[in-house]
Amino acid sequence: MPDEVVNGELPSLSGIGAKADLQVELTTPIVWSDLHRGHEPGGEIWVGIRTPGTELPERAERIRGELTAAGCRIVAAERHPDELLRAVHDEELLEYLASAWHDWREAGLDRDPGQDRVVPYLFPHPGMLPSDPGPLPIPAAITARAGRFAYDTMTLIGPGTWEAARAAVDVALSAAGLVLDGERSAYACCRPPGHHATPSAFGGSCYLNNTAAAAALLRDRGDGPVAVIDIDAHHGNGTQSIFYDDPAVLTGSVHVDPGAGWFPHFLGFEGETGGDRAIGTNRNLPLEPGTGDGPWLEAITGLAGWAAGQRAGALVVALGVDAAEADPESPLRVTLAGYREAGRILGELGLPTVIVQEGGYDLEAIGGLVRATLAGLEEGLADAG
């Protein structure tokens, strides 16, 4: 994670084309839930230090404000059955997340030792376990239980976390539903983000995988394979993991190279191409820190061409806008115009498209970046006819 938070004006993001972008009227429906506001992560524990964190409620509010100004229609998320969560997550993870905060408070841990969020302390590391451990027990101690499901210390659980995470999935599923009902595209304005959440574990500020839930719904009710293209600055390890053995979902991710020292560090390399039953259905395109529009857009063009070549019938875009140059959480240097062009490239596929919000932490820029991407997407879809 970076050491500094960059605030203030973004001169390089307001260059050529940027002002025009901000005048564009949009028609993409935005799916929304107020429940996101209940999730106040309360910071992150990073290298043992509690830092303020950047995955804040204000993120979604800024995006909504910008898109409302652009003319987008707000659609309230509808509650979906738990079965659609179980399509992408283990039952044990869902049960844990649903009760984690309640159990922590019941155990009095918020008073003694005085920890106001659920924080793991012990993890079942493979090196600690027998080579074939079988099903892992769920620890009796509430303090030990968190590490059974969390893979980092940065993703804290508080009073409204479950309701917000559950609602974020409903936002993504509702957006997928709009597309299944005939909208050409729909945008899921959700938080907490989801693409780092795996079938059985959570981390990276993500609890439930919103993008994956939308993709699974399109897979089960749509035509042909679904392509997930993740343009967040970080590798979508959770989404990759959920669909790694699924030949009906193509997963592509362009992100800063984990080998250059970036989250999620252990995954996101080019050699990860799919499990035995789905070889070739996963593509990772890691980029060097400092990469700007040119190579980033080339990578997205490559992923789009791949999805088209595989005859994808629908597209889910995991839209992280943290690849933008002033974002505090990544070293990529994509411009506002770059995001608009990315939207256009993806729109030109002409597929029913669900856009799901992932990262993006520069509060001044986040709304404009999403607006620019959706503007590009609408242009691309129009061009595709």
Spot the catalytic one: 39, 80, 89, 196: 196
Could you tell me where the DSSP H helices lie in 154-227? 161-180, 210-221
335 within 8 A of 297, measured Cβ to Cβ: no
Residue type for position 121: Y
Nearer to Zn ion, 322 or 341 (CB): 322
232 within 8 A of 359, measured Cβ to Cβ: yes
Residue nearest to Zn ion (CB): 359
Among 44, 55, 232, 272, binds Zn ion (CB under 5 A): 232
Nearer to Zn ion, 82 or 364 (CB): 364
Q: Which stretch binds Zn ion (CB under 5 A): 103-111, 146-154, 354-362, 363-371?
A: 354-362
Residue 230 near Zn ion by CB under 5 A: no
Helix axes 336-347, 366-384, angle to 10 degrees: 30
Residue 233 near Zn ion by CB under 5 A: yes
Query: What is the footprint of Zn ion within residues 311-350 (CB under 5 A)?
Result: 320, 322
Query: What is the footprint of Zn ion within residues 141-180 (CB under 5 A)?
Result: none
Query: What is the footprint of Zn ion within residues 69-108 (CB under 5 A)?
Result: none
196 has catalytic annotation: yes
**Dist. CA 239–CA 325, nearest whole Å:** 24
Tell the smallest beta-carbon distance from residue 263 to Zn ion (Å).
8
Nearer to Zn ion, 359 or 380 (CB): 359
Nearer to Zn ion, 254 or 312 (CB): 254
Name the burial class of residue 14, with classes exposed (0-12), middle (13-18) and buried (19+) by CB atoms within 10 angstroms of its CB: middle
Tell the smallest beta-carbon distance from residue 361 to Zn ion (Å).
8
Tokens coding 275: 């499990």
Residues touching Zn ion: how many (CB under 5 A)? 6
Residue 359 near Zn ion by CB under 5 A: yes
Residues 6+ apart with CB under 8 A from 295: 287
Please state the three-class secondary structure of 97-139 as a single string. Answer: HHHHHHHHHHCCCCCCCCCCCECCCCCCCHHHCCCCCCCCCCC
Name the burial class of residue 204, with classes exposed (0-12), middle (13-18) and buried (19+) by CB atoms within 10 angstroms of its CB: buried
Tell the smallest beta-carbon distance from residue 1 to Zn ion (Å).
11
Q: Which residues are catalytic?
A: 196
Q: Where does this chain bind Zn ion (CB under 5 A)?
A: 232-234, 320, 322, 359
